[in-house]
Structure 1
């Protein structure tokens, strides 16, 4: 149906509705599973071609697909600045690496849970003095052209989730949103306030420093950066980025988030805990610099190379190299308006902000955290996903400063105890079966920011007494519990779904890694869990985009228009440094993942 509607009509609806995709009460039939889709890997079996007895129907606000099963962003043009339009949806891929398919499972299926994952929103104060945009001189992908629009882009995603009445495969309404970290970008109090307001509802003014003018790189006069309003022939305009009068005023303009209509939970990422996602938040010089009135827009190439080198190795968590660069180039820094709202926050303040009744939104109070967490500044917890389904949110960050992840021994022990509390049968570290009489059996979903490849055993200087544990050790622990269904995470900014098989099939599980909402393709993921009543479970993963129209109108600087521009600029931004190598377009298309990493049915053996 989406393909028959014009972009103009869609934009008109969004602009006149007052809130993008506000519910209209109209029912629209959701397409069923794609028959004949197969996994690309050897051993995958075709989807059961028989239709379900009852197709779930979703009440839709407008005749446009709300998931990428129906329609997905598609690129036009082959070189230069590429435009985005609506394209066909992506098919369902059945993945049977961990359990075989069986005929008729759709007829027997019982829905168990449905929820949405946000990850890597990176809500950003782009005028912060502590940002290191100058690294772009060494790698174009070190600065994002689109990041000034992170707030309207995220508001559009909230609006899309609010329009989702039911999952496409189970008909069950989403019960909550889990945001798996890097919710903000600079470990800044004002960004945390914006994120909490975004999720719970309220007015946001995405501007700091001078209330009347922009003081960041977009108008600094250096051709290193995109100047949307100036005639300057900067390096991005040479690549085809547009000239957009009024862009900066629109990007700083106040807007209102409707807030999620369903409860939401929060998991911390390295950018939530650390300035720049990798620096020590306790450093006095950095604490003063982020709230101060001086900002560096460029540094010598030797300094760019020196800082890029320590970022790659991660061997300077105290930020010694960066501090030296800031001091050595103090005379190059420009005067900007100091702003105390940019201050860094402690773990205790992070928890207190989530517990603030002003940010309660649709709940739950604390969004996973409770008053008890304040006593120890503990940022991990368990919660009820649905009847018979438990979620466990773990904190994988290094508090002393590093972009990689790990778990300390204390948290790993807590995770093992929590898993055991919901498992009547599991295996000890030596592989011996354990009977846990009286345990409340449940299907278990793990949530974290870091994915398993990004977790190391690096020592955490903030917790020197604790041994750290990497992703392989977490995988080994989870595989001891046959009722673990999936580990759901972010950090990579890439869609990737990985099976973790075990010689005992019931001890296998899936790792679901979802792309970010700051970089293309700007996805979130709808997850549904169902019991097939044949000894298997099905995990359905369906990617969703924001509510903003695919096609961008450079003259439309409304909140809706900025949401569209946010997506299109993110595709046309140079590839991210340190992520995937390749040409600009190839990088971002690769981040969307293969069809087997997008809309899937993941089969798993029941315990």
Structure 2
């Protein structure tokens, strides 16, 4: 497979690619390139036009020295003392790198031969949460302690700190080469709320954010409800979480909704949609007018009998209520238990078209590209998948695995699957990295898309089979499960690739992942994965309610969240790795 793409011989030629071929257009080192909305080649994002076109970029500057500082190769947040109750965090031991030869043997001397092809950062499952949103299901905690998390009001502060970490990185930790871009693989928001979408775009591109809705002066939600079911940080009430050792922090709620500032990423960033971005509460299809009106209204349910909580949670988990009918009936049945809150139209659910328009808004372009992968072609076609050029050697493909029919598990339609197959074929002379929200294991929802009932839905096994047909596929990078897991996929006589699933930034451990692609010059390639935490210090200070102090507290509260899974960090083979592949 030739690794050198000639722009002049690409399938689609237009003025932009002609300029690139003649050297009139170049891209600076470390910057990914998305096919622009005004490019004819961008029709590839809709599945109706040409495939993505390579664009020249300048050779990268001399690489920096490899480093570990600021990554989990240096240190990881870990409990500082004690074995029960509320535990304080501090600097813990580093996670060492593991070489995985599942798909190809690692050959000696490769470190002296390797050449960097690309490097980027993956964010996933930020779950920026409007905790005062009337539709939130906090009351499910009466049936399960982990149905509500005490740190949820600090998601924005935590995400801003993650942006600060990426901005402080010197480059890629193994090769020292520049980072090309950041890709977020979905569940950027939590309630499919316009407030959260605005916060997400400002976190990524920069701006001032007030993580508050409803009353602009006061918090109105479960954490000042007086209910012992929830942590009441400002009150002396001995609630269920304080009985577990959670602190009394006067001024916490005022600090949590106080305006903060995101510097925005210093790198171009791209976006992939997740089920919490596509569906109200991440599991209900659009279309119920009662739920849409309830979202912006002045009533909120904060507690529920345990039996009703268990029943509703089971209906969601078992995909028994994709339209939200059971939720609607429950809210009506408990009308007398609803508490008054301040109505807010900005809490309205957003449609897929509104999601695209928000990304295309020039106010949110930040470091680029315009639309962050999405284009006017996507908007016209009603699609949320696209291809983009990472470097001369590698193409990126973002697919939409959300199911408009409802439920939090994923699938993909035949039209999109064929587009994926064609895009990979049309770019057979480039390596490919595919991005999605759902994993191969979590694509089990084949519910019909109401808007396209004849478009058959496909599960994860069909996506794996499609990717395995193409020997240029290196990796499938995704999220959704909130757990680190790396799977080797191998198919006889076909392609082998790595599936890289990364933990979230809402459930502990709060992580993102740097991925570097290198040519070992010995018939193999390596993908280096390095996990990073936010820039917030591991140690917290309960008297520090500054933006940085809240980001540190966000992590520690998440560690202590009752009922949390302790398996999300994965095994050492799922964390900092070198993943070896044979060159096609």
Common fold by TM > 0.5: yes
Asked if the contact 1:56/1:168 (under 8 Å) is kept, the reply is: no
Does residue 496 of the first structure (1) align with residue 501 of the second (2)? no
Does residue 532 of the first structure (1) align with residue 520 of the second (2)? yes
Three-state SS of the structure 1 residue aligned to 2:354 is helix
Does residue 183 of the first structure (1) align with residue 171 of the second (2)? no
For residue 78 of structure 2, what is the aligned residue in structure 1?
A: 74
Aligned-pair distance for 1:533? 1.0
Asked if the contact 1:164/1:173 (under 8 Å) is kept, the reply is: no
For residue 592 of structure 1, what is the aligned residue in structure 2?
A: 569
Unaligned runs of 5+ in 1: 1-53, 424-440, 577-586
Aligned-pair distance for 1:273? 0.6
* Counterpart mapping for 1:243-392 below 5 A: 243-392=248-397
Aligned-pair distance for 1:387? 1.6
Three-state SS of the structure 2 residue aligned to 1:234 is coil
String of CA shifts for 1:240-259, please: whole Å, max 9, x gaps.
Answer: 11111100000000011000
Q: 1:480 aligns with which of 469, 478, 485?
A: 469
String of CA shifts for 1:153-200, please: whole Å, max 9, x gaps.
Answer: 000000000011211111111111000000000000110000001100
For residue 58 of structure 2, what is the aligned residue in structure 1?
A: none
Three-state SS of the structure 1 residue aligned to 2:371 is helix
For residue 35 of structure 1, what is the aligned residue in structure 2?
A: none
Asked if the contact 2:424/2:470 (under 8 Å) is kept, the reply is: yes
Length-normalised TM-score, structure 1: 0.84
Three-state SS of the structure 2 residue aligned to 1:474 is helix
Asked if the contact 2:403/2:445 (under 8 Å) is kept, the reply is: no
Does residue 450 of the first structure (1) align with residue 438 of the second (2)? yes
Aligned-pair distance for 1:143? 0.6
Structure 1 stretches of at least 4 aligned residues deviating more than 4 Å after TM superposition: none
Three-state SS of the structure 2 residue aligned to 1:459 is coil
Counterparts of 1:367 and 1:79 in 2: how far apart (Å)? 44
String of CA shifts for 1:266-290, please: whole Å, max 9, x gaps.
Answer: 0000000111110122211111000
Counterparts of 1:368 and 1:560 in 2: how far apart (Å)? 30
Counterparts of 2:231 and 2:177 in 1: how far apart (Å)? 44
For residue 411 of structure 1, what is the aligned residue in structure 2?
A: 416
Length-normalised TM-score, structure 2: 0.88
Asked if the contact 1:181/1:270 (under 8 Å) is kept, the reply is: yes
Aligned-pair distance for 1:56? 4.3
Asked if the contact 1:56/1:169 (under 8 Å) is kept, the reply is: no
Aligned-pair distance for 1:132? 0.7
Three-state SS of the structure 1 residue aligned to 2:400 is coil
Counterparts of 1:574 and 1:403 in 2: how far apart (Å)? 23
Counterparts of 1:544 and 1:261 in 2: how far apart (Å)? 17
Counterparts of 1:601 and 1:400 in 2: how far apart (Å)? 38
String of CA shifts for 1:530-569, please: whole Å, max 9, x gaps.
Answer: 0011111100000000000000100000000000000000
Aligned-pair distance for 1:57? 2.2
Aligned-pair distance for 1:401? 1.6
Aligned-pair distance for 1:55? 9.0
- C-alpha distance 322-457 of structure 1, shift in aligned 2 (>3 A): closer
Higher relative contact order (CA 8 A, sep 6+): 2
Three-state SS of the structure 2 residue aligned to 1:402 is coil
Three-state SS of the structure 2 residue aligned to 1:566 is helix
CA RMSD of aligned residues (A): 1.3
For residue 228 of structure 1, what is the aligned residue in structure 2?
A: 233
String of CA shifts for 1:191-248, please: whole Å, max 9, x gaps.
Answer: 0000001100000000000011110100101111000111111111111111111000
Aligned-pair distance for 1:459? 1.7
String of CA shifts for 1:500-524, please: whole Å, max 9, x gaps.
Answer: 12223x6111000000001100000
Asked if the contact 2:64/2:170 (under 8 Å) is kept, the reply is: no
Unaligned runs of 5+ in 2: 1-61
Q: 2:540 aligns with which of 531, 552, 555?
A: 552
Asked if the contact 2:316/2:407 (under 8 Å) is kept, the reply is: no
Counterparts of 1:57 and 1:110 in 2: how far apart (Å)? 14
